Amino acid sequence: MDPRTTEADGKVQKSDVGVGKANGVGSISNKDMIFRADKIDLKSLDIQLEKHLSRVWSRDRDVQKPKEEWEIDLSKLDIRNVIAHGTYGTVYRGVYDVQDVAVKLLDWGEDGIATTAETAALRASFRQEVAVWHKLNHPNVTKFIGASMGTSNLKIPSRNSSIEGHSSLPSRACCVVVEYLPGGTLKQYLIRNRRKKLPFKIVIQLALDLSRGLSYLHSQKIVHRDVKTENMLLDTPRTLKIADFGVARVEAQNPKDMTGETGTLGYMAPEVLDGKPYNRRCDVYSFGICLWEIYCCDMPYPDLSFAEVSSAVVRQNLRPEVPRCCPSSLANIMRKCWDANPEKRPDMDEVVRLLEAIDTSKGGGMIPEDQTNGCFCFSVARGP
């Protein structure tokens, strides 16, 4: 090509810059090249610069301050011993900034076992739980302290007590920190009292705590979706507090947006079991089952499999059998709450009023099994 000719793309005109230095030989250096301004994509350069600055800003922000308003300072968290194992993780007792706390650790499956989709679902579930929990403030809802998402430097006590030091979760584990309640779960409390039963006054107190907590959640447009005695915790004065918001979600404007089996068999409402649209009244149904459980200190459907319970609740209107010794004022609340038609179930604020109106001064609780005049209310048949 003639050195005096012009490049087809118009970027460099060789006749202008020459082909050499003083001796007339050599190649064109970068500093000698001339670019036409009308050929430069300034918009693209702006976009690239903006992306670069954004990455730098994000990196600096991660180092300098928490990513979210609920993010905790891990340097203040001291994780101690295991207190429970769940479906999605392990619960430890610990201390955060001199306060006794429970620490729920979630392993996002980044150990080569879980699929990418499963890991993504766990992360989404974690964000959902935190987003719901950190805004709540009620005496019958477990107090949220904070959380850490995608943290690789958590100090986890070793499972082997003979090994000193700490073990680590797979990279990018996360945790939720809440107040520690020494009374354990409501389920454990009821099991401990299975033989001697509970005084009627305590039955109503526990029922009121649970109903008030649920009424508050519903007032915040939150559906818990897994109301059961295992998800209720007790503090030292035996105040009940609702916990575990792993499947809670803000109630959809359109009930058709809330479908699918979410919850625990035995407590799940018929419409949920049947895959139909549902709303906050699925919690009311679950409350009715919990109310029976609190009164009886027993498990519903002890002789049936999960599959049998699921089918019978939907198709045969199966419900726990209400003991004949149960006061009608309480029995009526149970039956209203677990009505097959969600629209006929009361709202939780109405349940609170009904429970507050019950007179506990004359007793009415289940009679302990070891007494000669024990209550023989139960029969083999189970029905509404």
Active site residues: 226
Which pair of tokens denotes residue 353?
A: 């009023």
Do residues 41 and 117 lie in contact, with contact meaning Cβ atoms separated by under 8 Å?
no
Distance, CA of 218 to CA of 79 (rounded, Å): 33
| Residue recorded with tokens 């295992």 | 230
Tokens representing 232 are 């209720």
DSSP state of 320: P
Residue linked to tokens 């392993």: 107
3-state secondary structure of 306: helix
Contact 29, 18 (CB under 8 A): no
Joined tokens for residue 337: 């709450």
If one counts every other C-beta atom within 10 angstroms of the C-beta of residue 119, the result is 17
Residues pairing with 128 in the sheet? none
In DSSP terms, 263 is beta-bridged to none
Of the candidates 199, 202, 197, the one whose C-alpha atom is nearest the C-alpha of residue 240 is 202
Strands 222-223 and 89-96, sheet pairing: unpaired
End-to-end CA distance of the chain: 96
d(CA 241, CA 179): 11
Phi, psi dihedrals of residue 134, rounded to the nearest 5°: -70, -10
Q: What is the DSSP string of 19-80?
A: S-STTS-S---GGG----GGGS-HHHHHHHHHHHHHHHHHHHHHHHS-SSTTB--GGGEEEE
